[in-house]
Structure 1
Amino acid sequence: MMSFREGKLGGEEKECEESVLGSTESKSVRENGSLAATQFTIDENLLVDPKLLFIGSKIGEGAHGKVYEGRYGDQIVAIKVLHRGSTSEERVSLENRFAREVNMMSRVHHDNLVKFIGACKDPLMVIVTELLPGMSLRKYLISIRPKLLDLHLAINFALDIARALDWLHANGIIHRDLKPDNLLLTADQKSVKLADFGLAREETVTEMMTAETGTYRWMAPELYSTVTLRQGEKKHYNNKVDVYSFGVVLWELLTNRMPFEGMSNLQAAYAAAFKIAAREAEHTR
């Protein structure tokens, strides 16, 4: 296991003692002669000392970063290292997303949400959470195939997920990336916790939100254009998009199959958007 300060993950050694963005204006953007959109900051009480972080083996990887098993002081933890971006504009966007994720995770505490421990900006953008010794729900379902999940366990998992979503929604947060890969089993494999707030955002009543996120197979149709299926468009939607994703996950819990099996994620999105489900329904009878 390597110290966070040593060369395994690169970057110069700095103290994590200031807010993530420091001021309302990003230096990299100022140098390009323009200001970024709304900037986010992080309470310094949420920041951890990088000298106490030790990085172990990689346990996961996604579009926005990598997750390692590690240690913070005397705690065994999960350390999520986020990508920095290669341009000034991309860097500012990712810093904002990082700060938003930290702020949301730090203010919601629930038995079915992965516990937030702390964050650090330098030398890397890092989020530290509890480490669950179980596997993801996706891996667990695959491991028991072709068997079905015990019905009582499936119901318990579904209730865990519903409680997590209910708590998030009560706190004005939409997860937007609910899927089995982001649901982690506890050590006894009798409960699940919702993880990865990288694409979550606070719900607003009047603001149009960007449909920038998620995996098509689990995304509600209102998150993408049914004509072009292009992400990144501004749309009105609410926390019901999580309810749609919950329905897809519930189907998987009960059938131990992936919806629209044999289709790519993009094909599955078309099938959902245009209600091409007759063949799938025949399969489950």
Structure 2
Amino acid sequence: MSCVESSEFGRNESKAVALEESIKLGRRSFARNNGSVVSISGPLDIDEKLLIDPKLLFVGSKIGEGAHGKVYQGKYRDQIVAIKVVNGGSTPDEKELLEAGFIREVNMMSKVKHENLVKFIGACKHPLMVIATELLPGMSLKKFLSSIKPQQLDIRTSVSYALDIARAMDCLHANGIIHRDLKPDNLLLTANKKQVKLIDFGLAREETVNEMMTAETGTYRWMAPELYSTVTLRRGEKKHYTNKVDVYSFGIVFWELLTNKMPFEGMSNLQAAYAAAFKQMRPPLPNDTPPELVFIVQSCWVEDPNTRPSFSQIVRMLDSFLCTLPPPPTCTGAESVLVDAPSRSTSAVISATSARVGGKKLSFIRQLFAAKKAANV
């Protein structure tokens, strides 16, 4: 997709300025509220069973850093772990908000267990707020995709990774949790590159029916349009949205798995936000993308959240598509997950195969979503 033309921004300057101000106010609101509303649903403390002895926790070298803290490689007892040290804040109000967010994150991480979610080990509140999880020796999905450019993943690997992500998200949503920051940075590969696991619950929160949530949370290129405000936000303004914001983000991530490109490439963050919120623009899929996968991706990022599929439906569709693929190649290592970007010959073969085998299934799925959309009108 080409960058939005400067002249177009000139003609729509008032909208662009409104969006920019919305982003700035959203960021300030987000900073004040630690990415969530002040009232936190659920228990306001951590079960003693989840706490670990800080004297048995050894912190090693730093391996990452984000808005909410730093991550280190470390050791707890005899286990190698990842240690997230959460920012403590500088004022009483900030400390209170950060501690509430820390408690919420620990309680959510301990609540959900799945093979595609990073395993929670334990936490401690003093002398620092710390969360210990399993340490995956593999790199993030973002770093891995960057390392293989300009090559692309083969279609089986792309769909397998997407299936791992969808299963993790299905588990979160089944437990009433919205992640709100699904992106390749928050997805880690296992050492053998056969599996993907979701990390970082720093922006996650429990979904409620009536409570309003802070807008402008997440990372702009992967954020659902309903998380943007198309008019200037009032200070601290909240809005209601559903777990379908994660489905939109998944659609963008799946597009990256299929293309190994940056979404809205060539655009600034503001331009990407403008394109998604005002122009309903989406990244283009390659012409040889199998029709079933085109349908899944486009269903995930439709404008109306109510017509997006659930992750349980996405899991079923991806599972069904994998069943149409020929046996995997016999090669091992990184070569088994790559295909030359210019030819996409594997994709062309799969497209022809899936068109024959999966045509009726795709028609049924389209009818399913059409019926759902009609029911919501």
TM-score tier by shorter-chain length is 0.7 to 0.9
Q: Does the aligned pair in 1 maintain the 2:215–2:229 contact within 8 Å?
A: no
Question: Residues 154 and 225 from structure 1, CA distance in 2 versus in 1: closer, same or farther, beyond 3 angstroms?
Answer: same
Question: What is the 5 A alignment of 1:71-220?
Answer: 71-220=75-224
Q: For the residues of structure 2 that align with 1:227 and 1:242, how far apart are their CA atoms?
A: 23
Post-superposition CA distance 1:86-124 (Å, at most 9, x none): 111111110000000000000100000000000011111
Q: Does the aligned pair in 2 maintain the 1:65–1:80 contact within 8 Å?
A: yes
Question: Residues 218 and 229 from structure 1, CA distance in 2 versus in 1: closer, same or farther, beyond 3 angstroms?
Answer: farther
Post-superposition CA distance 1:115-165 (Å, at most 9, x none): 000001111110000000000000000000000111111100000000001
What residue ranges of structure 1 are gaps of 5+ in the alignment? Answer: 1-35
Q: Does the aligned pair in 2 maintain the 1:212–1:233 contact within 8 Å?
A: no
CA offset at residue 192 of structure 1?
0.4
The code of the aligned residue for 1:202 comes to E
Q: For the residues of structure 1 that align with 2:104 and 2:141, how far apart are their CA atoms?
A: 26
Q: How many residues align?
A: 248
Is residue 253 from structure 1 mapped to residue 253 from structure 2 by the alignment? no
The code of the aligned residue for 2:45 comes to T
The code of the aligned residue for 2:223 comes to M
CA offset at residue 284 of structure 1?
4.4
Residue aligning to 1:277 = 281
CA offset at residue 197 of structure 1?
0.2
**Secondary structure of 1:277 counterpart:** coil
Question: Residues 231 and 211 from structure 1, CA distance in 2 versus in 1: closer, same or farther, beyond 3 angstroms?
Answer: farther
Q: Does the aligned pair in 2 maintain the 1:207–1:236 contact within 8 Å?
A: yes
Moved more, 255-264 or 139-148: 255-264
Post-superposition CA distance 1:257-279 (Å, at most 9, x none): 0111011222211111113538x
Q: For the residues of structure 2 that align with 1:172 and 1:150, how far apart are their CA atoms?
A: 33
The code of the aligned residue for 2:256 comes to E
**Secondary structure of 1:244 counterpart:** helix
The code of the aligned residue for 2:165 comes to I
**Secondary structure of 1:124 counterpart:** coil
Q: For the residues of structure 2 that align with 1:68 and 1:254, how far apart are their CA atoms?
A: 31
The code of the aligned residue for 2:101 comes to R
Question: Residues 270 and 177 from structure 1, CA distance in 2 versus in 1: closer, same or farther, beyond 3 angstroms?
Answer: same
The code of the aligned residue for 2:63 comes to I
The Cα RMSD (Å) is 1.8
Question: Residues 195 and 67 from structure 1, CA distance in 2 versus in 1: closer, same or farther, beyond 3 angstroms?
Answer: same
Question: Residues 65 and 149 from structure 1, CA distance in 2 versus in 1: closer, same or farther, beyond 3 angstroms?
Answer: same
Q: For the residues of structure 1 that align with 2:208 and 2:272, how far apart are their CA atoms?
A: 28
**Secondary structure of 2:123 counterpart:** strand
Q: For the residues of structure 1 that align with 2:191 and 2:233, how far apart are their CA atoms?
A: 39
CA offset at residue 232 of structure 1?
5.1
Normalised by the size of structure 2, how large is the TM-score?
A: 0.63
Q: 1:241 aligns with which of 238, 245, 250?
A: 245
Is residue 54 from structure 1 mapped to residue 79 from structure 2 by the alignment? no
Normalised by the size of structure 1, how large is the TM-score?
A: 0.83
CA offset at residue 229 of structure 1?
7.1
**Secondary structure of 2:153 counterpart:** coil
CA offset at residue 187 of structure 1?
1.1
**Secondary structure of 2:88 counterpart:** coil
CA offset at residue 209 of structure 1?
1.5
Question: Residues 189 and 229 from structure 1, CA distance in 2 versus in 1: closer, same or farther, beyond 3 angstroms?
Answer: farther
Q: For the residues of structure 2 that align with 1:191 and 1:98, how far apart are their CA atoms?
A: 28
CA offset at residue 254 of structure 1?
0.3
**Secondary structure of 2:62 counterpart:** strand
Larger radius of gyration, structure 1 or 2?
2
Q: Does the aligned pair in 2 maintain the 1:217–1:266 contact within 8 Å?
A: no
Post-superposition CA distance 1:30-57 (Å, at most 9, x none): xxxxxx8557110011001000011111
Moved more, 152-161 or 226-235: 226-235
Q: For the residues of structure 2 that align with 1:186 and 1:169, how far apart are their CA atoms?
A: 23
Hey, which of these two has a bigger chunk of helix by percent?
Answer: 2
CA offset at residue 230 of structure 1?
8.2
Calculate percent identity across the aligned residue pairs. Answer: 75
The code of the aligned residue for 2:251 comes to G
Residue aligning to 2:269 = 265
Q: Does the aligned pair in 2 maintain the 1:224–1:231 contact within 8 Å?
A: no
